Amino acid sequence: MSLLNAYSVAAAALVAVGAYCVASKRNLIKIIIGIEIVTTAVNLNFIAMGLRDGVLDPLASMYAAISMAIGAAVAALALGLVLQAYRHYGTLDSSKMSRLRW
């Protein structure tokens, strides 16, 4: 059982990229792109973990498919909120939206 294959390494790298994107970007759309990258990375990791001797466990592809649907729901809600935020503030810069602090 080799859990450390090319796919799982790529997934770990994508998680890092997505987390960096969420942490460092100020544009709300870019933050959501970061979340989507992490979602994709986790889906890829399910596939990587389901690979046993070159054969894919159907459970893994089912997990990835369901997780994609959930990710789409979250993305839709997030974009809706970003749209409303843009209407309120006239900007997508998250650092301008800091009225809520302490």
* Binding site residues, another protein, CB under 8 A: 3, 8, 15, 19, 22, 28, 31-32, 35, 38-39, 41-42, 45-46, 48-50, 52, 57, 59-60, 62-63, 66-67, 70, 73-74, 77-78, 81-82, 84-85, 88-89, 97, 99-100, 102
CB of 55 to another protein, least distance (A): 13
CB of 97 to another protein, least distance (A): 5
The backbone torsions φ and ψ at residue 3, rounded to the nearest 5 degrees and listed phi first, read: -80, -20
Which tokens sit at 100? 């809520």
Q: CA-to-CA distance for 35 and 22, rounded, in angstroms? A: 7
Q: 10: which DSSP letter?
A: H
Residues 96, 89: contact at Cβ < 8 Å?
A: yes
Q: 90: which DSSP letter?
A: S
Which tokens sit at 64? 């990835």
CB of 17 to another protein, least distance (A): 13
Which tokens sit at 42? 């986790």
| Between 24 and 59, CB nearer to another protein | 59
CB of 24 to another protein, least distance (A): 13
